[in-house]
Amino acid sequence: MRLRRICLLCFLVLPFLAPSAHADTAFIGIAGPFAVLGAAGVTNTGPSVIYGNVAGSIGTPAITGFPPGIVVAPGALLPGGASASVFNDATTAYNFAAGQPFTSDLTGQNLGGMTLTPGVYFFSSTAQLTGTLILDAQGSNTAQWVFQIGSGLTTASASTVQMINAGPGGAFNGGITWQVGSAAILGTTTTYLGTIIAQAGVSLQTGATIGCGRAISLTASVTLDTNIIDTGCQVSAGTGGTGGGTITPPAAVPEPGTFGLISVGLAGLFLTLRKVC
C-alpha cells in the first residue's frame, strides 16, 4: 500500500514541476498561451525547453529543431501555424503598448544598473541592457511595466532582468512588455523577464532564457539556441528583509550531455514505477 502511494505521488507531482500561472501583457488575448510566435517561422538549435505553444503563421516555412527542442505539455508545437486571429491579438498588444503615454524617457541610457518601479519607459531608438536591470514591484502582484523601444533591443552576454518586492508568494498577474520597433537580440546566457513583441526578428543566443513572457515576431522569424522560455510566472517569498516576494528568470538549460543524462534518468524512473506500481 505504501509503495502504491509513492507511485501515485510521483505521477501526480511530476507533471506540475513547471509553473502554470501566466503573467498578463495587456490585450495579448488568444496569443497568451504562445511562448514562441514567429510570423516567418521558428528555428531552434540544441535542447531548448519551451513552456507554452510554439508556432509560425499559416503558410510559413516549417518549424525546425523540435527535437532536440521540446515543448512541455500542456504547451503544443503547431507546425501548421497559428491563426491570423492569434497574430492579430499579438499586434493589438503591440499597438496598445506603443500607444501608452510614457512616464520616463530613457533614450540613450543603458538599462543595466537601473531599478525601475512600474511604469512606461520610452526609448526613441535602440535600447541596450548590459548587466542587471531590477524591477521593483513595490509590494504588488499586478504591477505593470511597458518598454517602448523605437528600433532594436539588445542585451550583452550574461545580462539579467529580475523582479523584487512583489506581493505574497504565488501567481504573478502583472505584466512586463517589451514593444520593439525592429529586432530583438538576447545575448548568450541572458536571463530575461517579460514578453518581447518585435516588428522584426527575435533571436535568443546560446543559453538565454525568458520567464514571465514570450518571444513574438510580428513579421519575421524567431531563432532559438539552447534556451528556456516560460509564460508562467511565480513569486517566491522574500527573504532577508527584501520587503516582498521575488521573481527570477528560469535557470539556464543544462549542457547537452547533462540534458541527456536527465532524460535517461527520468525514463528509467518511469520504467521502474511502471514495473512496481
pLDDT tens sequence across 229-250: 999 998 987 654 445 789 988 8
Q: Please report the pLDDT score of residue 160 as a whole number.
A: 97
CB 88 within 8 A of CB 107: no
175: number of Cβ within 10 Å? 24
Average pLDDT over residues 95-116: 98
* pTM assigned to the model: 0.83
- How far apart are the C-alpha atoms of 191 and 171, rounded to whole Å? 20
For the segment 81-92, the average pLDDT, to the nearest whole number, is 97
Supply the pLDDT for residue 240: 44
Name the grid cell of 69.
527542442
Q: How confident is the model at residue 206 (pLDDT cuts 50, 70, 90)?
A: very high
